[in-house]
Chain A
Amino acid sequence: MADILFYSEEDDLLHELAGLATVVAAQAGGRSCAVVLGEDKAATASSLASEGVSEVYLFKAPAAFRAHPEAAAQALVEASAKHHSAFLLVGSTKEGKVVAGRLAAALGAPAASDCATIQLTDGDLVVERPSYGGRVTTKVALSGKYVVACVKARAYPRATPSGTAGKVSEIPFEPALTTSLIEVRERPASSVDLTKAEKIVSVGRGLKKKEDIPLIQSLADAMGASVGCSRPLSADLGWLPEEAHIGLTGIEVKPKVYVAIGISGQLQHLAGVKEAGTIVGINTDKAAPIFANADYGIVGDLYQIVPELVHQLTASKHK
């Protein structure tokens, strides 16, 4: 019998974990408990309590600390001490993984990050996570008094209000931090979060100059899609923002249709599009790996194909 403790600094993920935690807790014969940081998070705490979570530990830390991984790890350690045995689920964000690592080390617990699936099997937490650039799925069994697993965003659905009334316990909290935040710059929110986009038009090195981006945008507009790119266009050339970078070290997307234009299809990029419904490749190089990893493809010059595609899509709309 084990309880489930979960935490994420990201609101959406937090509610997804709530749903997952409730299910696993039932299987494990234990309770699901959330850890929330921040004296300004009372509303979040109570909404979780109504979504099937048995107990919400609301650590009353000053708002400024609530996203700090050290603070979160300390809070989770404190919360874990209240449980004889627990599976700890942390949202697999950048900061979440730092939290998980510190937490696992503090508790002497085994840990796995970026888990796409979580299952309870014979008292162990069995998880699946990607490795080798996303080519390989690794299945791992985690066992022990405490176990830490980071769960990927959108792997599980959000919890829904269930008419239950869980407990909210307020805990005074003064985290001891070893780093100082000097400055924060919000990254410009892109008009659409690519991770939620249903249609994506993506561009790579085949594009000759920055001034040609409007051509790609015109296809995106004709399709009602968002624009993404492979790493060179954002990281090296700066033609598109970092938020548009799709790939192993960028973002992972799950659109229904993904059109890769002038993208060769290297492993590092494909790792970000594995879950796409339909992949279309457009490239001048017949031997480019994208074609072996796409559902549809046209070998040719994007400067001819894209305008033609825009033309035909627009024409069919007016029929």
Chain B
Amino acid sequence: MVFPLGELGDYEIKFKPEHEMFRKFIREFFEKEVEPRVSEIEENDAVPADLLKKMGEMGFQGIAVPQEYGGQGGDQISMAIFSEEAGRTYPAIMTIVGVNGLFTIPILLFGTEEQKRKYLPPVARGEKHSAHATSEAGAGSDVAGVQTKAERRGDKWVLNGRKAFISGGDIADYFLVLARTSPPPSRKERWKGLTFFIVEKDMPGFSVAKNMKKSGLKGSSIVELQLDNVEVPDSNRLGDEGEGFKIAMETFDHGRIGVAAQALGIAQAAFEKSLNYAMQRSTFDRLLIQQQAIDDYLAEMLMKLVTSRQLVYWASYLADSGRKEYLIAASLAKAYATEAAEFCALKAISIHGGVGVVVDSHIERMLRDVEITKIYEGSNEIQRLVIIRQLIRQTMGFDPMGM
């Protein structure tokens, strides 16, 4: 046993030549098309329409969607590369693109052929946007607490409820909505009786409300969704009735590495900027890089940066290799990389001194952007739980919570 996996070889990471080329070109896109507009996006809290269009044309929303459904046919490593580069330049872009994954992945895993053919290509090609609507005011980490109801009426379902903290809900055309279709059989089985539905924004009774102002990830909106007797055909039900919780969990499992990579990108940017600054700025007749305290900070940042990198790409490689162990690796990566990124963002501010909190320096922004990464896609508190549960499950074959 070489915890949490079997042997040394389980820790290997193998890249393909196209990965490095993709990284180079994605970085070029971000530096050329996004970087110059960061101040503009921060000020308006919105991504310009022409930039969204360019991103759509580049096929970002379909990186991990198979070619047969209009996607790029990329792997998890490619998705991680995209997320990292986005995190390095402007993390909100990763969120804007990434939430589409929370729509496309469950449809790929659980959808009917008709659903796949109808909904995947337009989203993969960037022609339409999508969002995942599970969260409610009273149900964030506790997915089973969802109260939006779906009542069957013949071959239709009628949905009623209010969703909250829905990323990208303002620009989405399609939504994956989680609703309760039957009451839980017992208090211990609250997770039973939930079902997913594909809802289109034009369906009568569906509306987007209340865009909330956040401290970070500007340009990526979070909204509330109001569903008033929204009629959804049964053909838009995703998976079996009652399968919703399982679908949600698997969806988040797949999305986890992306957030870890996004945080990795933030850490990378924090380190690059700090190193650059330390090489240029002088205090007390010496360059910052010649001051021991600064070297200490930079070294710590680099330790955390490189460790995050190894975790992110290891988890991605495991996923691409079809290994179930990617689950625990993804949780390790997410919890570690997001906290490491926060550390790096804080240190970057210290190293830059007063300049670090000047908005135009784009240093303090990294801290504002990184905070939510510790919270969404399964909070780090939940990740820690998952890590141990998975470990016991994997190595001993049973669920320790059930003991």
A301 to chain B, nearest CB (A): 8
Question: A205 and B280: CB pair below 8 A?
Answer: no
Does B186 make an interface contact (CB < 8 A)?
Answer: no
A262 to chain B, nearest CB (A): 11
Residue of B nearest to A291 (CB): B280
Does A285 make an interface contact (CB < 8 A)?
Answer: yes
A-B interface contact total, Cβ < 8 Å: 22
Does A287 make an interface contact (CB < 8 A)?
Answer: yes
Residue of B nearest to A289 (CB): B280
Residue of B nearest to A283 (CB): B360
Question: A286 and B352: CB pair below 8 A?
Answer: yes
Residue of A nearest to B276 (CB): A287
User: Which of A285, A289, A291, A299: most chain B CB closer than 10 A?
Assistant: A285
- Number of B residues, CB within 8 Å of A: 11
Question: B361 and A285: CB pair below 8 A?
Answer: yes
Residue of A nearest to B353 (CB): A286
User: Which B residues touch A289, using CB under 8 A?
Assistant: 280
Does A26 make an interface contact (CB < 8 A)?
Answer: no
Q: Report whether over half of chain A's contact residues are helix, strand or loop; otherwise say mixed.
A: loop
Question: A286 and B355: CB pair below 8 A?
Answer: yes
Does B273 make an interface contact (CB < 8 A)?
Answer: yes
In A284-308, the 8 Å CB interface with B consists of: 284-287, 289, 291-292, 299, 301
Query: What is the 8 Å Cβ interface bit string for chain B, positions 347-369, against chain A (1 contact, 0 not)?
Result: 00000100100101100000000
A204 to chain B, nearest CB (A): 12
Question: B361 and A286: CB pair below 8 A?
Answer: yes
User: Which B residues touch A284, using CB under 8 A?
Assistant: 358, 360-361
User: Which B residues touch A299, using CB under 8 A?
Assistant: 355
Interface residue from B280, B352, B358, B360 paired with A292 (Cβ < 8 Å)? B280
Does B277 make an interface contact (CB < 8 A)?
Answer: yes
Does B210 make an interface contact (CB < 8 A)?
Answer: no
In B331-390, the 8 Å CB interface with A consists of: 352, 355, 358, 360-361
Q: In the complex the two chains form, what is the Cα distance from A289 to B276 in whole Å?
A: 9
Q: In the complex the two chains form, what is the Cα distance from A292 to B280 in whole Å?
A: 7
Residue of A nearest to B39 (CB): A208
Does B36 make an interface contact (CB < 8 A)?
Answer: yes
Question: A287 and B280: CB pair below 8 A?
Answer: yes
B282 to chain A, nearest CB (A): 10
Residue of B nearest to A232 (CB): B36
B interface residues with partner A (beta carbon < 8 Å): 36, 273, 276-277, 280-281, 352, 355, 358, 360-361
User: 10 interchain pairs (CB within 8 A)?
Assistant: A284-B358, A284-B360, A284-B361, A285-B360, A285-B361, A286-B281, A287-B277, A289-B280, A291-B280, A292-B280
